[in-house]
Amino acid sequence: MNLTYTFAKNLFSTEKIKELNKKINENFVKDKESPASDTKKTSKVKFIKLAPIQKLVSPFLGFIYKANTSFFDFDLFELTPEKILNYNIYEIDKEYGWHYDGESGLGKRDIKLTCLLNCSEEKYVGGELSLFVNKEIECKEFNSSGSAIVFPSFINHKVNKILSGKRRTLAIWMHGPRFR
- Res 62: pLDDT: 98
Prediction pTM value: 0.93
Domain ranges within the chain, ordered by starting residue = 6-177
- Res 30: pLDDT: 76
- Res 106: pLDDT: 56
- Res 31: pLDDT: 61
Separation between Cα atoms, residue 81 and residue 79, nearest integer Å: 7
- Res 161: pLDDT: 97
Helices (H) and strands (E) in the chain, counts: 2, 12
- Mean pLDDT of the chain, nearest integer: 92
Please tell me the CATH code under which domain 6-177 is placed.
2.60.120.620
- Res 104: pLDDT: 65
Intervals of the chain under pLDDT 50: 1, 36
- Res 178: pLDDT: 85
The CB-based long-range contact list for 65-73 (8 Å cut-off, 24+ gap) reads: 67/6, 67/113, 67/115, 67/150, 68/112, 68/113, 68/150, 68/174, 70/6, 71/1, 71/3, 71/6, 72/1, 72/3, 72/112, 72/113, 72/150, 72/152, 73/1
Contact 116, 170 (CB under 8 A): yes
- Res 1: pLDDT: 44
